[in-house]
Structure 1
């Protein structure tokens, strides 16, 4: 896989993807949408005023990947549970998580729709500056979730390059590393 972002000027970027790359990225984003879930009500046909005042959960998600995407706002991430921090995190989560989930869903959907615009084939994806921010968010979310599933730590990230081909994690590791390269190239393209 070689498709990386290049600057298009004015904070925009372009990405040339072959059919396989587009398919893999689309599949990963669809899986992200499934992980995040449909949101409150599930169908979006509810009362918009009620949705505006809807309260989210007060407990962190049980799924480690979701917990990484929606971390507690207070307390030490790996430390012992502090009742005051847990209560503050619950209050913060109650008023922010629904919006954060909606933003993450919107970012992932934006990527899926852009890839759908290629018609199931490879091609050139052109992004303006606001779309670049959505793609950065979506790519970051994918890397965070994959990193949790692969149990990646800063200490062993170099070891990912040395996995034998027979290792069952190899396809996910390749996706994780490619997403990192995409994310880095997009940051560089936006900065140009």
Structure 2
């Protein structure tokens, strides 16, 4: 089981993690939370109707990682607009879509990253030396979302655009400063792949 998710009887998934792996995943999840940004203010009144109609940003984020996590809904990088009017319409539709969806997307990604941190913190309470992380079906889906977001974030920093870029990562020399980030990217990919297979079994 080390390093791979396996199904639990009755649903969910389990993976054996050592202390270093726990520390790496937790640190990356905390960094992801910081990147996504805080949620609603602690003292803000809880008005579900106001939250439902709260507007988010209409402009894409400046940070390339956040642009990868929150892409434009109406952009098609493989097809240029046929006219300036079409380009303007795409921009307008993307801005409107972002304005009404990004807050919810951020909340969902924040929720998944927090679920990862909390489950790892619960493992740490059990004692050192690593442990077997056991996740319910809901927790497994939260982990899957967070692992995907972490890989998107790291992939963006590594400027991975397609599969050819990933192939080049395997051939990086050991003294390349990107090597630790590449190793984390590939390792998280393995975790994500086995978790997907576990949830589909």
Which range, TM-score by smaller chain? over 0.9
CA distance in 1, matches of 2:19, 2:56: 39
Larger Cα-atom Rg: 2
Unaligned runs of 5+ in 2: 82-86
- Identify the match of residue 194 of structure 2 among 175, 185, 188: 185
CA contact (8 A) 1:3 1:18 kept: no
Deviation at 1:118, TM superposition (A): 1.3
1:159 and 2:168 matched: yes
SS of the residue aligned with 2:56?
coil
Deviation at 1:188, TM superposition (A): 1.1
Instruction: Select between 11-20 and 76-85 the one with higher mean Cα deviation.
Output: 76-85
CA contact (8 A) 1:13 1:132 kept: yes
CA distance in 2, matches of 1:69, 1:37: 13
Deviations 1:68-102 (A, max 9, x none): 10011102136657110110011111111000000
SS of the residue aligned with 2:153?
helix
CA distance in 2, matches of 1:33, 1:79: 33
CA distance in 2, matches of 1:62, 1:80: 22
CA distance in 1, matches of 2:79, 2:39: 30
Calculate the aligned-residue CA RMSD, in Å.
1.5
Q: How many residues align?
A: 189
SS of the residue aligned with 1:119?
helix
SS of the residue aligned with 1:30?
helix
Deviation at 1:190, TM superposition (A): 1.2
1:13 and 2:18 matched: no
The aligned residue for residue 171 of structure 1 is: 180
Q: Give 4+ residue runs of structure 1 displaced > 2 Å after superposition.
A: 50-53, 77-81
CA distance in 1, matches of 2:80, 2:154: 25
The aligned residue for residue 117 of structure 1 is: 122
Question: Normalising by the residue count of structure 1, what TM-score does the alignment of the two structures yield?
Answer: 0.93
Unaligned runs of 5+ in 1: none
Deviation at 1:39, TM superposition (A): 2.7
CA distance in 1, matches of 2:166, 2:114: 29
Deviations 1:139-158 (A, max 9, x none): 00000010000011321211
SS of the residue aligned with 1:26?
helix
